[in-house]
Structure 1
Amino acid sequence: MTARRSAVVLPLVLAALFSACASNPSVPEGGSVVRGGKRIPAKDFDTFKRDFAAEARAAGVSQRTVDRVVPDLELLPAIIKLDQRQPEFTKPVWSYLADTVNKARIDRGRELRKQYANILNPIAGHTGVPAELIVAIWGMETNFGDFTGKTSVYDALATLAFEGRRAEFYHKELIAALKLVDRGDLPAGGVEGSWAGAMGQTQFMPSTWLKYAVDGDGDGRIDLQDSLADAFASTAAFLAASGWSGDLAWGCEARVPGGFDWRLAGEDKGMTLGQWSALGFERLDGQPLTGGARATLFAPAGHTGPVLLLSDSFRAILKYNQSTNYALAVLTLAERMAGRTPIHTPWPTDLRMLSATELREMQERLTGLGFDAGEADGKVGAKTRTALRNWQASVGRVADGYPTADDLARLREMTVPLAPPAQAVPAESQTLPAAAAD
């Protein structure tokens, strides 16, 4: 796909957008329509559409747009199945990186970086977001525009708002989509995207489009599908508003000093680079580790694999997609396109990654021992990693927060048997679409 224009015009409003912030809506289980200030299930899809039309009008959507879009909404049962499927097995980080950051994608990314330099360079200069990073997200999201989705976005959002796990979230996304129709950015007749409602070259959710997308080519409208200038400028605007900073970039690989207390690792244990240096940390590339920029320590495969000091820029990528594997892949792809190798330490490929069932068991056992691991959902988030670190430290293990089969075996020795887990349904890993975290 080619850009409609060879030059990019960045409107002055872009700078104002950088101070905007996104918020995560509260998401009740079930529920479809609002009545008397409470969200309750609609008895059928026709009732949902009728009540949603009133909700959209109350949210400021024009009657004309409501009349053109809502009556034609269709329920897509296959979307509900996709939303409900939870993966039992996911790829370890090293396999994910090998699959997504391959030579073909790196080479193609470099060529496209050169091809669209006249669009990318002004955006990078204005926002501080590197051109390679924009191209890397483009590559990860849609394979450089090869596949932007074939699902009716309005129908997908309506289906998930009617019957999905995150009904409130998708209600707001559908209203945002209708506001984009009001604004002239989306056609009332429909638009195609991902099954979860993301659209365009770099897969924006409607609310993200509404808040952060900009007119990169200066034609008076925002088109994230057919205008690369709009898509690139909007991606940069979102990342800049989410905290990307060019001074430290995303972070660096580090060498851990002997005797380090791994409980200082984690998302909530940030220190300045100077403080990490004072503890004995060194950059693996030999550059000095100095300054007042904040960084957190992260070992994506435990203490036997690469150890990273991560900046706020890394967390900006997590706002685009909440998966740490995704963020590492995007940044590795960007670095490789720029001719650099960001990670040198070999991955511990002999480690077996725990299944979702095993992770749920680990969470339950940690909580049972007084280490609050949060909801037993089979996903390793910040709360689970903190609980695991604290337990590991309490029994004399390296407290890196990485769940291993040895950890689970030890936990089983320390706790009573649990009830048999529910039968899990194997599935491919499903993650939120890009830019859906706000």
Structure 2
Amino acid sequence: MRFALFLSATLSTLAAAALLPASSVMAGGIEFGPTDQAPKAKPQKKKAQPAPDAGDPLAGEAAAPSAAPPAGTPAAATPAAVQTPAVGQATGGRVSTKGMPPPAAPRNCKTSWAFDTWMRDFRREAAAEGISQRTISLALDGMTPDQGVISRDRRQGFFSQSFLDFSAKLATPNRVTNGRAQIQKNRAAFDRAVKQFGVDPGVITGFWALESDFGAGMGKLPIMRSLVTLAYDCRRGPMFRDELKAALQIIDRGDMTPSTMIGSWAGEIGQTQFLPTRYLEHAIDYDGDGRPDLFDSATDIIGTTANYMAHLGWRPNEPWIQEVRVPEQMPWDQSDLAITHPRSQWAAWGVTQADGAPLEKDALPASLLLPMGRFGPAFLAFPNFNVYLQWNQSLNYATTAAYLATRINGAPAMRRGREGIPTLTQDEAKELQRLLTARGFDVGEIDGLIGLKSRQAIKAMQLKYKLPADSYPTPELLAALRRG
């Protein structure tokens, strides 16, 4: 979804463990990335430009293995059973489509094996798994890797931006307006999806806007060549080997041909950018024409997206995030996605709605999300926010997509918090990661992208230095680490 292979994932490892469902195994939300600018006018006819460096499935740190939900979290509501033609049904669950992707190799890894040898072995493996020789030949004969795809996979600059900068580029007023228009235009399909899957139209439309601007920015590269390249490459070959086989299965069953599989450099399919495994398992024929079409059928796009979100555990009739205002003094160490309290407890600590009105004093479990620390925007994240994190590991992306959905549904623009919130440059963030590593923390790759493991380590050191433990990297913490 653009398949969002975006990452700068940001919570703590504990946060991911607490939020993700127990079945988390393989690539769930990955991040290739949405376009950074909504078209200025007539978006349905204007090509969207890809974001700089957009598209890294693991631009941050991978999530930890999943754990049971926090105690007291109510069971998710179960949506109605899906009734769709066989052509759109799952094929057996060979690859999990929940959870997070496996760790990637470092960005400086070197592919040492010969492409011809790799391709010969892959073709044998695909045939042994039941893919027809006709499809293998049709899709793979004469194939060569694309160095441009590998180069784009290594980029990461876009993900080092602050949340405020990132969201300003992506959650644009134009996307809010166009999202509302799409809901009105496709009201019957959205109403049906709400009834069947329980997923809010604004949520679906927010992803649809970010992933392709409603089809204007799906990409124009041959999907099969991109998948071959990423499967052959050293960085995340095993993951994309599965994606390549899934794409061959899609061709084998007649949904598409290699020539019609055109999309992003990351091998994603359609307007909400499904990786092939997700398409194979969750694409449904929602308009009844005999096949799922995620390129041109708005009805199929809406139904398929809702179907996949229900699979990820979407809880009908519950919120996903709520913008709030935090007091100057509160137990900052509780602001962690790994920690949930009833909304009534946050109210007792002085958290209010964004406009200052009292917060609902109910038992709905919520975590306090501070993407820019205690001086920036603040949100309560509810169990449905987990679906955003599975769609895309980047906390910046997940929070932006969730916020955009609330805007499409009529919420006002968020408060930006205090002026001049301190931020680290990417070089300073790398230095911070090196200093944390020297103190025994595992922060993953030293890349300047403050992700899951880095934020866990930051919180631990904030507690040690008796700083407000909001898990946000600041020059103050960096200076303390430099002093030792």
Question: Structure 1: how far apart are the matches of 2:452 and 2:363?
Answer: 24
- Asked if residue 22 in structure 1 is aligned to residue 92 in structure 2, the reply is no
> How far is the alpha carbon of 1:119 from its aligned partner?
2.0
- Asked if residue 360 in structure 1 is aligned to residue 430 in structure 2, the reply is yes
Distance 1:303 1:182, change over 3 A: same
> How far is the alpha carbon of 1:189 from its aligned partner?
3.7
Show the counterpart of 2:406: 335
Q: Specify which of 126, 134, 146 is matched with residue 76 of structure 1.
A: 146
Higher Cα Rg, which structure: 1
> How far is the alpha carbon of 1:88 from its aligned partner?
8.0
Q: Specify which of 216, 220, 223 is matched with residue 150 of structure 1.
A: 220
**What amino acid does structure 2 have at the position aligned with 1:403?**
P
Show the counterpart of 1:138: 208
Show the counterpart of 1:325: 396
1:286-305 matches, within 5 Å, as 286=357, 288-305=359-376
- Asked if residue 193 in structure 1 is aligned to residue 193 in structure 2, the reply is no
Question: Structure 1: how far apart are the matches of 2:419 and 2:310?
Answer: 35
**Deviation per CA, 1:1-58, whole angstroms, max 9, x where unpaired?**
79xxxxxxx95159997x985254545639xxxxxxxxx9674322222111111122
Show the counterpart of 1:306: 377
**What amino acid does structure 1 have at the position aligned with 2:247?**
A
- Asked if residue 96 in structure 1 is aligned to residue 172 in structure 2, the reply is no
Distance 1:219 1:393, change over 3 A: same
Q: Specify which of 196, 203, 207 is matched with residue 277 of structure 2.
A: 207
Question: Structure 2: how far apart are the matches of 1:233 and 1:255?
Answer: 35
Distance 1:312 1:288, change over 3 A: same
Show the counterpart of 1:223: 293
Show the counterpart of 2:63: none
Distance 1:374 1:43, change over 3 A: closer
Question: Structure 2: how far apart are the matches of 1:160 and 1:182?
Answer: 21
Distance 1:28 1:403, change over 3 A: closer
Distance 1:25 1:203, change over 3 A: closer
**Deviation per CA, 1:339-371, whole angstroms, max 9, x where unpaired?**
22263x333451343233322221221232355
Question: Structure 2: how far apart are the matches of 1:349 and 1:52?
Answer: 54
Residue pair 1:255, 1:284 contacting (<8 A) in 2 also: yes
Show the counterpart of 2:66: none
**What amino acid does structure 2 have at the position aligned with 1:79?**
V
1:369-388 matches, within 5 Å, as 369-388=439-458
Show the counterpart of 1:240: 310
> How far is the alpha carbon of 1:63 from its aligned partner?
2.5
Higher relative contact order (CA 8 A, sep 6+): 2
- Asked if residue 261 in structure 1 is aligned to residue 331 in structure 2, the reply is yes
> How far is the alpha carbon of 1:378 from its aligned partner?
2.1
Q: Specify which of 312, 318, 321 is matched with residue 251 of structure 1.
A: 321
Per the alignment, in what secondary structure is the counterpart of residue 295 of structure 2?
Answer: coil
Question: Structure 2: how far apart are the matches of 1:307 and 1:25?
Answer: 28
**What amino acid does structure 1 have at the position aligned with 2:148?**
A
1:157-172 matches, within 5 Å, as 157-172=227-242
> How far is the alpha carbon of 1:196 from its aligned partner?
0.7
**Deviation per CA, 1:69-113, whole angstroms, max 9, x where unpaired?**
121423211111111223287322112222222222222222222
Q: Specify which of 176, 186, 193 is matched with residue 106 of structure 1.
A: 176
**What amino acid does structure 2 have at the position aligned with 1:359?**
A
Identity across aligned pairs (percent)?
Answer: 34
Distance 1:192 1:266, change over 3 A: same
Per the alignment, in what secondary structure is the counterpart of residue 470 of structure 2?
Answer: coil
Per the alignment, in what secondary structure is the counterpart of residue 312 of structure 1?
Answer: coil
Show the counterpart of 1:424: none
Residue pair 1:11, 1:216 contacting (<8 A) in 2 also: no
Give the TM-score taking structure 2 as reference length.
Answer: 0.75
Distance 1:390 1:353, change over 3 A: same
Show the counterpart of 1:316: 387
Question: Structure 2: how far apart are the matches of 1:386 and 1:79?
Answer: 32
Distance 1:189 1:284, change over 3 A: closer
Show the counterpart of 2:125: 55
Per the alignment, in what secondary structure is the counterpart of residue 363 of structure 1?
Answer: helix
Distance 1:287 1:119, change over 3 A: farther
Question: Structure 1: how far apart are the matches of 2:151 and 2:233?
Answer: 10
- Asked if residue 406 in structure 1 is aligned to residue 476 in structure 2, the reply is yes
Alignment length (residue pairs) = 396
Give the TM-score taking structure 1 as reference length.
Answer: 0.82
Distance 1:27 1:48, change over 3 A: farther
Question: Structure 2: how far apart are the matches of 1:201 and 1:125?
Answer: 22
Residue pair 1:304, 1:348 contacting (<8 A) in 2 also: yes
**What amino acid does structure 2 have at the position aligned with 1:115?**
K
Q: Specify which of 111, 134, 138 is matched with residue 64 of structure 1.
A: 134
Distance 1:58 1:348, change over 3 A: farther
Distance 1:134 1:283, change over 3 A: same
**What amino acid does structure 2 have at the position aligned with 1:235?**
T
Question: Structure 1: how far apart are the matches of 2:177 and 2:245?
Answer: 40
Per the alignment, in what secondary structure is the counterpart of residue 366 of structure 2?
Answer: strand
Q: Considering only aligned residues, what root-mean-square deviation do their CA atoms show, in Å?
A: 2.8
> How far is the alpha carbon of 1:180 from its aligned partner?
0.9
> How far is the alpha carbon of 1:168 from its aligned partner?
0.8
Question: Structure 1: how far apart are the matches of 2:279 and 2:177?
Answer: 29
**Deviation per CA, 1:366-418, whole angstroms, max 9, x where unpaired?**
2323555444332222221121112112212111111112221221121xxxx
Residue pair 1:306, 1:347 contacting (<8 A) in 2 also: yes
